[in-house]
Chain A
Amino acid sequence: MRKAFAPLLVLAAAMFAAAPYFIAQAPYESTMGLIQKIMYFHVPSWIGMYSAILVCGVASGLYLFRNNQAADRYAVSAAELAVMFGLMGLVTGPLWGRKAWGVWWEWDVRLTSALLLELVFVAYLLVRKYGGPGAEKLAAATALFGFAVAPFVYKSVDIWRTVHPKTSVVPTLPKVMGGPLALTALAFVLLFLVLLTLRVRLAERQAVLDELYLAHED
């Protein structure tokens, strides 16, 4: 992962540099106009969050059932990133909705469940920080819960009636809009991997410091 850091960083930077050009070239959506261009950062934010939830869920499972310490470092790093990308989605969404729907927020099933999913990972971080001894295991169980809930949040728009567009919208976008979205989505996944590498590095150094403290006390 660390060897791939520099190429990932260069590639992500190049894609983010090119993104404004392709977003500007994409046509306006007929009913929403300019505001619809928030989609090129809003949808990738959620893709970033779901990538983080996937890593956090798998790593938490490995830590919980196999006591893999390295997996725990990945889990805590990915949980932080899930909160960060989720916050991006929760802020860009209302900015889009204010113009498209006339309201900042609607307590419908998609928006509410997305907020709750964000809060699950905030809870993970709070449990780790203030939970005392054994909090890592409790937090890992919380992450598994978030991992299990995430698909329901994604499919909620297809199951219940909601103001939010259905999951079928993105795959059926015309190429002129789908192309820039694919570019920014990939750029966000690369950004997630770059930030994950950095955050795991921090977790590793913290683990070394903890070991040094233990050795120093002995």
Chain B
Amino acid sequence: MGMVSRVGQVGWLGGVLRMGRVGRLILTLLLVLIVAPSALAVQTAPPGQSEYVPIKDLPLTDQIPAAPLLIAAYAFVWIAVLFYLWTIWRRLGKVEDEMRTLAQKTTRR
């Protein structure tokens, strides 16, 4: 009677204290396994968003301005078309010149 009543009075703490070394080690490991992930989650949680975010803190894709890239893309297409047209015109001019020169040489003969 005496032993049972004393355990009941001391409660779960008394039970823990009376555990062997191995028992206490297992309990500690269990506590660490349960508490550690929660503690890590709290540490890695993103800070609360305030209304103002400096531009340097934005993701890279949000920091890059879109307009210069868009203008560059459209400008390149037109420059390429105009350059290609110019090369055709220049080559056509050369061929016509050569044909004229050749025709003159032939008539001189």
Contact = CB atoms under 8 A, between A and B. Distances in A.
Contacts of B91: 202
Interface in B46-104: 59-61, 64, 66-67, 69-70, 72-74, 76-77, 80-81, 84-85, 88, 91-92, 95-96, 98-99, 102-103
A102 B76 contact: no
A99 B74 CA distance: 15
Contact of B69 (A41, A95, A195, A205): A95
Contacts of A209: 95, 98-99, 102
B66 A99 contact: yes
Most chain A CB atoms below 10 A, which of B73, B80, B98: B73
Contact of A95 (B59, B72, B102): B72
A34 B70 contact: yes
Interface residues of B, number: 28
Contacts of B73: 38, 41-42, 91-92, 95-96
Contact of B80 (A88, A96, A199, A213): A88
Contact of B61 (A41, A102, A206): A102
B105 interface: yes
A165 interface: no
A212 interface: yes
Contacts of B44: none
Contacts of A96: 69, 73
Interface in A26-49: 33-35, 37-38, 41-42, 45
B104 to A, nearest CB: 11
B81 A191 contact: yes
A171 B66 CA distance: 25
Nearest to B96: A205
Interface of B: 59-61, 64, 66-67, 69-70, 72-74, 76-77, 80-81, 84-85, 88, 91-92, 95-96, 98-99, 102-103, 105-106
Interface of A: 33-35, 37-38, 41-42, 45, 80, 84, 87-88, 91-92, 95-96, 98-102, 191, 195, 198-199, 201-202, 205-206, 208-209, 212-213, 216
19 contacts: A34-B66, A34-B70, A41-B73, A41-B74, A87-B80, A88-B76, A92-B76, A92-B77, A96-B73, A98-B69, A100-B61, A102-B61, A191-B81, A195-B81, A202-B88, A202-B95, A205-B99, A209-B99, A212-B103
